[in-house]
Every structure is written in C-alpha cells, then in structure tokens.
Chain A
C-alpha cells in the first residue's frame, strides 16, 4: 500500500546513486549521486537542458533510470511514498473546466486526501491567499499566475513531508515570486523537506541551505551555499593613488586591473604582507575591500563561464517572455 504507514524518519529525504538516464545518445542524467537531507531546503541549480527536470522525474519515480537506484523518503519504490510527496512540474497542467477549489482537492485526492477535506482546505487556502472570488471559477477563467497558484496549492494541500518544485518561480511576477519564497520558508519551518530546481541563482542563494550545481547531466558541486562560496577565496578590490611602484611586486600574479582598481583573490598568506608593501611603497591606498564571493561567482568557477552565461540568458529570456 502507498504511504499507509509512515516510513521511519530517514536522514535523507531523497537519495540517488549513480543515476543514469539517456534519451538515445544523449545522457540527460549522467552518473548522478545526490542526497537531500530531511528537513532542508535544497536547490538544484543549472541552466536549461542541464538535466534538472529529468533528475527530478527520475527521483520521483515518474520515469525509471537506465542505471543506478534511488530512494524517496527511504523507499526504493518512489510511488509508494506518493501520499507524502507534493510535486509541482515545470510544465503546469490543470483541467481547464475544473473549478479552482476542485482542482486543488483533486490533486490532494490523487495523493490520498479525502475529497471533502481537500475541498475545505482548498477554499481556506484560496481565501487566505486573497483569491476568495476565484474559488468557484473554472481554471480556464483564471489568469496564468492564479492558475499557477492553484497548482501550487494542489501540491501542498495534502500536507506532504517532501515538496518537489521544478522551476517554481518560472512565469511568476516579482510579487508572486516573493509570496512563493515566503511559502517555501513557511513549509520548511514546519519541517517539510523542499527540493526545487531553478536556473535563477538569486532564488537558490536566498532560500537554500544546500545546493547541487548541475551541468551537462552531472553534479559539479553538492553542499551548502556557504561551501560553494568558500570554493573561491575572498575577492580583494584595491584602489591606489599611484598606479606603479615597487609595491606592485606584492600584488598576486593573476591581478586584474579594471575600472581603475586592482582585483585579485585574497592570497593564502592573508592581506597583511600586501598592506605592508603598500604602506612601505607609499602607494596611497584610496580604498580596500575584501568580499566573500557570491553564489554566482562560485557557479562560474564550478560549472564554467559557458553554463553561467546560459543561465543568464535563460533568466533574461524568461523575464522578456
């Protein structure tokens, strides 16, 4: 039976080992190992076509991998755990003739929630969200944003232990993106594991405790956002009155001169030897900043400039659309 007895709390809500899924000659998922700790917000970050959706579909049991194995909430048969999982696919889909509250209740019923309970919860959710006037409206009469909200409510109406969201921010305006972020945080506070994919680094940076950076069907990095940022040394930006002098020999060899400033990674031996040389050489320090690199810089370093450029293009295209 699916989900009648709660599975013992596994340390990982989702696990995949050596997962491979190919479409013809194209390996969309190419030997992926992933472990999503229970109770965390976990982001899968990568450009379009990196294999994020295929990975999520494989982990959820919608498709089977060609190789490797997975567990969902500790069960190797993902669909057995379907009652405790909520899933918002990238391609949103609802029955156009269904009323908003019925659509939410139907999605809950698919995952074992009694229809009458689902209807009550759906009405309450829509009322609380300020969509009370749309409760009885058929989906075809709702705006795209409203329909997406209905589908999101359908994903969580049965109070799952794990919520999987595939590009949840796609197609939402800034206000709805903010609301969604709040909803994700709210669910996480309740102890729900959130796994979501995105090609927008800012969302992952703001929300995630752990991330996996995916490119070319492989996971290039897996760990906390902090660990990803720690992959790069802090970045130093230095402005001096003099542009040359003996002190320049103290600058690291990969220093980049740009916009009237020196940019370089913080040397392993710290900033003190450089400061000493600057002071001795009377370089005239105008400003000196040491900044921890952002997730974007970490992404560029981990996945490569090409993948980062594609992510930017994807995000720009979506905004334009």
Chain B
C-alpha cells in the first residue's frame, strides 16, 4: 500500500504541476467568476427593475375625492405590506370610457378602475383582472373604511429560537450544500474523463504501466485533479467569502446547521472530495477506454444526464429525512455525499458521517479497481482470469 501511494504521489505531482503551472490554469480560475460577476450585476439590475417598473400600473378614472381616498389607502397598506405587494395607481382622465383609454397607443396602464370607491369597476384583460381584482378590492375596502378602519397593533414577543424556522433554515442550508457540491463536482470532475487520453496518445502509458501499478496511475490522476479542484475552490470560495463579507448587512447572522458550521464545512470538503473521487474514478475508468478526445466528448452527454438524475433524486429526498428514499440516497454511493451533506445540516449526529465516508471510500477503491481491470484487459490487452485480477495485489 505504501508503494502504491508513493507511485500515485509521483503521478499526482506530475499532473498537478503540469496543470497548475500552465497558463491556461489562470483562465480556469477566472472563468467561473465571470458568470458570477455578470450574474450579480444583472441580479442588482433586475431587482431594481422588478421593484419599480415591472409592478402593474392601474389607471384610476374616478372623481378627485375617490382618487385621493384610494391613494391614501394604498399608502397606508403599502407601509404595512411592503412596496412590492400592491399594484401602482395612476389617476387618468374621467372623460374617456375605460376600453377607449386602454386602446390608446400611449396608454401605460394595464387596467382601469372606474366607478366609485363603493362600486368600483375594473376593466382589463381577463388574466390582468384575475391578478389585480383582489388587490384593488383590498385598497377600495381600506379607502371606504378610511374613517373607521383602525390598524390593529400586533404585539411582539421575541424568542431566541423557533424550531420551525430553524428546521426551515437547516433545510435550506442542506439544499445549498447539495447544490454547491453538485455544481463543483459537475464543473470539475468532467475534466477527468479525458485525463488518460494524453498518456495514450503520447505513448507514455507504456512507460507508466511498466513502472508502477495501473491502480497507482488512476489514483495519482484522481489526487492531482482533486488537488487542482481544491486550488480552484479555495480561489472561488475566498472570492465569494470576500464579496459576502463586503456586501452583508450589519448584524447578519447565518443560521447554524445541525452539526455546527466548523463541522459542516469540514464535512462539506470531505463530501465534495468523495463525490469528486466517486464520479472521477468512474470517469477515469470510462475515459480510459476511449481512444480519442472525440470519443470522450461523445461520452460526456450521457454521463452529465446521469449526474443530473442523481441530483434530482437527492434534491427530492432532502426534506424527507428518514424516508426509505432518503435512506436509499444515503446508501447509493453516487448520491451518498449529497444526501449526507443534507443530513449534516439537519441532524447533529456525527457517527453516520464516519460510516458514510468509509462506505464511499470503499466504493472509490472498488470503482478504481474495476476501471483498472477494464483498462488492463481492453487497452493493454492483458490476459488472465478477470475475477482473479480483481482481488489480487496491485503489483500483480
């Protein structure tokens, strides 16, 4: 085992430095930040749009007294319900029938509220009426009861924790953990698919296979790519953390996951590593069978679809803790890291994580072994009985 790890470290060091010290690695680091920055800019922009311009505007074709009553009621309700809750109101001339007003090319209202406050009539397209009818009824009711409607003051009674809110927050943390690990895995593990193509096209594989066990080649490549991924994650994570710290409102406190933040982050790192090596070992085994980059590219699509299905599966089970499906997602090796990070957010017990990590590690070893076996048989054209090779030592 020591020799296997030594040989793997030689391969890993070569691969790691070859990737990290190349110019293209800078692009690799910067690449994912570009859509994030663009996304943040657009998010701010769209938020501004949605908070102002995109709220529907309703024209009020009523007497000035009624318009004033409606506007006052709108203001009172908005103060309590927030600026996004109600449509905007805009007084329009009384003279024209609502249908005519809506048909004018310069009209900027989606519907017209005419009549009186006590008997309002809303004119517009059916889907707009469905959307606005309730809100306008509320505004009109408040306007009509302007003199007698007293807002009831709700007394505040604060508690330090609410189990319902906590479980909701932890569910959200679990989901976020899953999404982060999934996207990092899908972003980074796919590169392993083409990892052995270089050695095959440059005929280096013969030198490697004569010097070290093929298991060490596979393991070394996985370690190198995992290391490279951690460099990327440290860079992206550091950047994201810096942005978060710069933008967070004063006094913002994140809810705690069930195992606490330090353990959750540590488990997140371990489960990313396990998800990466599980998928990576599978990719390496499949990619090693491919003779050309074209074949590797062809393999990409079905594998990505498989990953998506696994993600949908664990996303479904995240709020069904303890259900047979959730247990199945914990046991199934490829979904296990995602399911377990969701558990870490919702369940404080740590021992299941130890069991799960050992279980996932055993699968990594098994998948590497099968990949090596297939590589020796189909690529190196090695002979012998396959079932004997599956369980023999790596040095043969």
A residues within 8 Å of B by Cβ?
1-2, 4, 21-23, 57, 60-66, 77-80, 82, 85, 87, 89, 91-98, 106-107, 109-112, 151, 154
Contact = CB atoms under 8 A, between A and B. Distances in A.
Q: Which 3 A-B pairs have the closest CB atoms?
A: A93-B203, A66-B383, A63-B382
Contacts of B18: 95, 97-98
B162 interface: no
B213 interface: yes
Interface in B236-258: none
Contact of B210 (A66, A89, A106): A89
Contacts of B209: 62
Contacts of A106: 10, 14
A109 B10 contact: yes
B223 to A, nearest CB: 15
A290 to B, nearest CB: 46
Interface stretch (B47-55, B102-110, B388-396): B388-396
Nearest to B200: A93
B212 A23 contact: no
Nearest to B4: A2
Interface in B11-51: 11, 14, 18, 22
24 contacts: A1-B2, A23-B381, A62-B380, A64-B376, A64-B384, A64-B396, A79-B396, A80-B395, A82-B210, A82-B211, A85-B210, A87-B211, A89-B203, A89-B207, A91-B206, A94-B202, A94-B204, A95-B18, A97-B22, A107-B211, A110-B207, A110-B211, A110-B212, A111-B211
Given A65-B384, A89-B207, A78 B396 contact: yes
B279 interface: no
Nearest to B209: A62
Given A2-B7, A97-B22, 14 more contacts: A4-B3, A22-B383, A62-B210, A63-B376, A63-B380, A65-B383, A87-B211, A91-B203, A93-B207, A97-B18, A98-B14, A110-B7, A110-B10, A112-B6
Nearest to B15: A95
Interface of B: 2-3, 6-7, 10-11, 14, 18, 22, 198-199, 202-213, 376, 380-384, 389, 393-396
- How would you classify the secondary structure of chain A's contact residues: helix, strand, loop or mixed? loop
Contacts of B210: 57, 60-62, 82, 85, 87, 89
Given A66-B383, A77-B395, A79-B396, A95 B389 contact: no
A2 B3 contact: yes
Contacts of A60: 210
Nearest to B11: A110
Contact of B206 (A1, A93, A95, A154): A93
A307 to B, nearest CB: 24
A79 B395 contact: yes
A82 B198 CA distance: 23
Contact of A107 (B199, B207, B393): B207
Contacts of A1: 2-3
B322 to A, nearest CB: 46
Contact of B202 (A61, A77, A80, A95): A95
A103 to B, nearest CB: 10
A107 B10 CA distance: 10
Given A60-B210, A82-B210, A93 B395 contact: no
A63 B383 contact: yes
A87 B210 CA distance: 7
A93 B213 contact: no
A99 to B, nearest CB: 11
A21 B383 contact: yes
A140 to B, nearest CB: 10
A218 B380 CA distance: 21
A139 to B, nearest CB: 9
A211 B127 CA distance: 93
Contacts of A95: 14, 18, 198, 202, 204
A106 B207 CA distance: 11
Contacts of A91: 203, 206
